[in-house]
Structure 1
Amino acid sequence: MRFHMRKNKLVILAAGTALLAAFICFPFSGQAAASIEEKPLAGITLSIDRYCESVLENLKEDAEQAKKEAGGEEASDDVAILSNISEKEKQEKKEREERIKLNLKYDKLGIANVDTYLNVRNRGSESAKIIGKMTKNTGCNIISVKKGWAKIESGKVKGYVKAEYLLQGEEAEKKALKVATLKAIVDTETLNVRYLPSIDSPIYDQISEDEYYTVEKEHLTKEFMQTYMAKHCSKKTVNSVDKESMYADLENWAMLSIDNEKVFISKDFVDLQYKLNRAVTVQEEKKKSSSSSSNRAAGIVSYAMQFLGNPYVWGGTSLTNGTDCSGFTMGIYSHFGYYLPRTSAAQAAATRSVSSSEVQVGDLFFYGSGSVSHVALYIGGGQIIHASNARDGIKISSAYYRQPLKIGRVM
């Protein structure tokens, strides 16, 4: 078949050449000659081109038919090449669309390839000061790589990490497509979070501007909400809204996960983007004290930071294999000889209250909607470490990512 294709192409070209020569050599009348001088063989060339294209198209169809009749055998190199190019273009287009959807704004992407966390230092040396941490699958922009150290930037952290623990290039991009999660970035000063997707629903909590929250479900449907309400909502909560009005407005709402609780926010006040986790800063307290309680608090924070990136397990108490929020704070303090009750509400009752102006490293922050349902350990610099949810595990957040119900002191 390949031979016949080439032979036919040669015949077409030969016929075209002969026809062109005949028109050139044939003596025309003056009027005809003038016409040719104005449009020198344009019509002839176009006719030949169209004829060639028509024949080639017929040959291509014949090749495809021959391939079918031969039971799938190769019919034409030309057809196969065209098919391969088409598939490659489709794949490249798909990858471009995925990158746009991910909104990964990195000139040179790097992803932390570790089980727990990767230390970010202020210079390329293992003896250098730790200024931040990148948990598993955290993304960064690689500025340069020299002598085994990568200079990176991620979130508000800019420093150096061991290059061997970073995925780079195509490997990093493939990983990003798998691990990036949809986040809601609040673009108003304070946003009400509700139990159901309706402004008539009771407020669960309020969240802060510029904070990132994991989106559990972007597109809500009537069927989904009916199942969700039957399983998770009290009659009082369900009766607080006009269900038909709520169903009609579902496209303007999304479901978030906050401290393992499923809640709803209006899309009008958030920016939804696919994001990789960012590095977090490790800030030292400005006020240093030589008191034994201060030293002990610093030790508690240092110990807690060892478990950054470990898994969240509801009802769990293992700092390495999985714990929930109260299991985490209980486990940290028990290591230093302090007993805390098992639940976050009981821990709140067992600690003495302090104001936000008096907060110290080692204090516990308690959160919830009306009653305490979550607890975190204050590590200084306006940050907490806590067992957040099954997706994020033990992580660092702003202490005011939501309004605390109480700040409690153990020591």
Structure 2
Amino acid sequence: MRLRNNKVAKRLGTKALAGVLAIGLIISTPAAALADGGAETAGTQSTASQTPAAQAEKLQAKSVDGKDTLTDVSDAVKEMIQRGEVKLDESTGYLIDTTTGQKTNPVTGERVDQIPAIPATPVEPAAPAEPEQPAEPAEPATPAEPAEPATPATPAEPAEPEAPVTPATPAEPTTPAEAEQPAEPAAPAEPEQPADTVTSAKSNQALVAKQQIVKLPQIVEDFRFWTVARKYAFAKSEINIREAIPENIDGSNTQDAKTDLENAKTDAKKLQKKKKKITKKQTKTIKNKIFKKAKSKAVRDLQKTMEERKNLKQKGLDAALANQQLEEKVRTVGTLSQDGLLYILKEEENGWLYVESGNVRGFVKTSEVYTGDAAQEILDVYQTKAQKKAEKAGMEYTGIEGTAKTAEATVDAKENQAYTYLRATVNPTVAEKDYALVNDQIGTGILNIKEENNLDARTVGTLKQGQLCYILADKDADWVYIESGDVRGFVEKKYLDNSDETKQQITTTGEEQYKTAEETVKPEENAALYYTLASVKEGTPSGEIRESILQFASQFIGNPYVWGGTSLTDGADCSGFVQQIYKQYGYDLPRVAEDQSQCGTKIPVEDAQPGDLIFYAKAGHVYHVVMYAGDGKTIEAASTKLGIIESKVNTKNAVWATRIINDNYTLAGGGISNVNATNEMYGQNLGNFQITYYCACEICCNKADGITATGTPVVEGQTIAVDPRVIPYGTKVIIGGHIFTAEDCGGAIQGNHIDIYVNNHAEATALGVTNADVFLVK
């Protein structure tokens, strides 16, 4: 079976350009300078409420004629600002050259070495002639204090000339004698462009040289599923589950939540009264008894009429669903009856849902199912029925599956292109390790791992005598389904040693000491890969999170660029845009691009993956940030003229990328007791918390609350549920030496209480309730 890496569901367009740019607002205070293409210059960001048009039209800066009056910036100088050649120093109000630090005329763009008049010394009438000679090239190294040579009024302290060498702040006006130290003229320029910073330099090459760029290891796709919390939905009527999202068809709910809730209550009442349906086998038995007892023609005719009516009704329903399939031009992979159960795995654009029901996975319209409070009405009825059923049978209640109907497949899972669209599932995905070794019957030969359970099937991997595998399914059959390394398929059981003695031997020796299968067919081409969704390893959802971030960001394409803005709908600048996108996924980024460039792990631009951030610089100064979308493309808030757009990487100005998203799920998924925090990582002690455990089953997640409160998949060894008033979402904490991330919440999670996610209910129950100190990760 080919892996479906290319997305089945097509993105359905983008939003139209939103917002009208206001004009005419005069900026009364120095505004932040525009950078390349209207993008921000990091470190000079203005968060004032002026409109973008006003800022573009009325940018002001101090004059360089010694009067320090606010002067409108000319169009020519604005273009210099956009090119990153000049920026506004908000601390002084002057425009300065980003390379030399010289003050710049806001009208002509001319760089000046000194300001003609120094307001700090107006009482020196004898020296006004000195400022009138700004063009003196003889003393270019002392731009900050040109008028001071006329004040050698302090020669009484000649013994002090050695002391001024140490002061790092020559701006102190009380010691004018220090101006006579020509050896230290470069010091005043340091605050504007300090030589030891990592966010600015004289050139892009020098800027990059200051960074610690890390070459990350390649992330290998693992092709495994992971378990997520259950988000319930129920079919309003009989529905199709599609293989893909039809083009140009809106699946949004046309009814409001109140109407849906009322309809769901009506359906719930009918469900409460509905008697148990007779199975096909029971129906056949009853029919046989009827025909044996009543052989009269009248009875036979009556039965025939009833059967014909039933068939006609069924054909009518089938016809309606078939017509829907033809109209949408998308194949149906399963059908679900009215009030049938499905789980929402992902909310797509334009009112579509990616769902799972039984062994069917695909897409349905939001308008076709009850969700939220309406779904809860149906869920309550099924839970009551299932609990009574379990109690009557003397069994433990395990959920509503079996009481509520699930989808019937019309296409085999191996042929369903939507099956692996998202490798999340509500079912357990981590199997208990059932060790086996290849026995000596194979001799010096090779044990072939087959794609199907027969000798004629294709070989997907090989094992040799003494090598290790894990039995995942069909343990009592002649052919068993196994996993060894990244190879999954079928082998003949007679060639495996699965005895207790062998298992003990592996445990004692350590499984890592045994070799595993050699792959002969790539996983994405192996039709046996998902014979069962379980594996001995936890799946890594990071690739899916990256795709989710891109899809989330894409819906804002066409919205306006607003200088200083942080609204995804009303307008944002480049750094405000990526900040708000990442915030939705639990990552807190600084406000401006220059600061963001120092977050995460710096990597070469060519190593960027979708969802990583790429930074642009000119003349050694970071001025813009974009989100990488793969294939050389970006999603970015570009400029007031272009707004939020899809573009291409500016390879000329791109200096480095940063990796914010955590791809190392093996660390977090290694088990909740795995100690992975070093002593240096322990931060503030948040206090002693009550610790309980939960899983994704219906008992632990009774209500349809979603995957997690932050929309991310739950992962054992990573996800904890918290009271966000105590521990904010996205916070990393250490509990018992293990690092967890606050990604979820619940009604019972209040105050100093934390729930830790585990993969199965038995483990959650066995772990019980404990108390532990909780520390922030530094």
Q: Tell me which interval the TM-score lies in, with the shorter structure as reference length.
A: 0.3 to 0.5
The two structures have a TM-score, normalised by structure 1, of: 0.33
Point out which structure has higher relative CO (alpha carbons under 8 A, 6+ apart).
2
The two structures have a TM-score, normalised by structure 2, of: 0.18
